[in-house]
Amino acid sequence: MNTNACSIPFLILSALAALAAPSDRAGAGSAAEPAAPARPNVVLILADDLGWRDLGCYGARDIRTPHLDRLALEGIRFTQFYANGPECSPTRTALLTGRYQQRVGGLECAIGIGGVGRYDDAIRLAAQGELGLPESEPTIAQLLRRAGFATAISGKWHLGYEEKFSPGRHGFDHAFYSLGGGMDYFHHVEDPPGYTPVLRLDGAPVQRRGYATDLFADEATRWLRGFATKDASRPFFLYLPFTAPHAPFQAPGEEQPAPLPAGSPRWSQSQAPPAVYAAMIERMDDAIGRLLAALSELRLETNTLVIFMSDNGGTASARPTGLRGIKGSTFEGGIRAPCIVRWPGILPAGQKIAHPAVTFDLTASIARAAGIDAPAGRPFDGIDILGCIRRGKPPPSRALFWRARRGDRTWRAARESSFKLVARTDGDRTEEFLFDIERDPGENTNLIESGAATAARLRQMLGAWESDVKAVR
């Protein structure tokens, strides 16, 4: 399960790469397998609650996303990409650590407003002031900074409210961010009745006028330009996690003198006016376009790996996907997400990738591209999926697992090959489903009885995985 390359363990690949003669590296960089450049820059862009069909290149007909569509034409587009969790905080934990979020403890559910725990383990940690990503968990930003990268975040954090969980403690030299899950896009406060200001700059409260999507992209672009002027000899890692299109649903031209009132349906994740929802995504696409233009203008484009993905499946406000379920569930609609990657001259342009992949595969791929290993004693759970694609090799056979908890409800899932087991537990009652995802991506036909042997095998694998990822705190 901890395989970090297509067919050779990650650490062995790293050693071989270090020992390879220049002629060997040139041979690996044939037309069929382009040689990876040394230490590319990395731009990692994350959307929040973006549905699988919410981009033009994924089938949206009434949402215009020309910049992301172009990125897909210039790079690769995954058609079976999964988030590590069906909610915000879990996937972000897996993304930054490269490991299953269950290993950390308390982060199998989105952290509640102000740092509230929403299931027993999270409630316990919150009572101890420990609900968040602890500094003891190495992140990809820390690893890259130690390797000489300049690092910055501009956007949503949602991995702990206390300062000890802040981005600066996790490897980011520069950090402009919002603390929690969602905020008013114009007034930058959390949900009523608290209306707590949650915008931070390097750990300190800050006030800025503007639409959140623009503020995050503009800060990222400002930092990038400053970096190119002062420190261009180093590679950089820029993390841009938008809040869009997460609730509250506010279009760019809807600023009001005060935050949205408590009774506004715009705070509800399932009640977005379709035109407003589209406008939020289109503004995010515009913002991404400005950042990509800056990369080109600064002549950083050719050696920059750009990754775009969503942190989970869409809400009920997302465009119809044909998939079962929404955010919060481990049905396909809750965990399948769009993902686009561009790496000029290294990855093929305009290709669709049908191999199943998951969020932390991109973490392992970033590390591999930067020539760094997983932290001692904490091997990545993901694989170097981009290395597999670059070499034209199928990824290794493996199973993928999910578990999400909120209150008394627990969602589980396991996928191996084309079969996927889904289990939903409410209190003492568990309901199970078995699907053939290749034949039935919409999860319409439950094979739990006819596929009893397959279900039993996946159930056993899921139990073994749960034992393996048991948190230590």
User: Which residue numbers are catalytic?
Assistant: 88, 158
To 10 degrees, what angle do helices 10-19 and 359-370 make?
A: 20
Q: What are the residues facing 135 on neighbouring strands?
A: none
The span from the CA of 84 to the CA of 411, in Å, is: 13
DSSP label at residue 316: T
Quick check: 278 and 302 in contact, CB under 8 A? no
Q: Tell me the torsion sign for CA atoms 107, 113, 115, 119.
A: negative
The CB density around residue 148, as the number of other CB atoms within 10 Å, is: 12
- Residues 203, 209, 211: CA angle, nearest 5 degrees: 95
Q: For residue 112, what is the DSSP state?
A: B
Return the closest-CA partner of residue 348 out of 391, 382, 315, 309.
391
Looking at the chain, how many residues does it have? 473
DSSP-derived secondary structure letter, 265: G
265, 272 Cβ separation under 8 angstroms:
no
Helices (H), 371-412: 385-391
Beta-strand relationship, 399-406 and 409-416? antiparallel
Query: Is 69 in a helix, a strand, or coil?
Result: helix
What is the rounded CA–CA span in Å between residue 223 and residue 185? Answer: 21
Distance CA 304, CA 237 (A): 10
Give dist(CA 6, CA 353) in Å, integer. 15
Which residue has tokens 């994350």? 46
Neighbours of 3 (CB within 10 A): 20
Q: Which of 53, 36, 7 is nearest to 442 (CA)?
A: 53
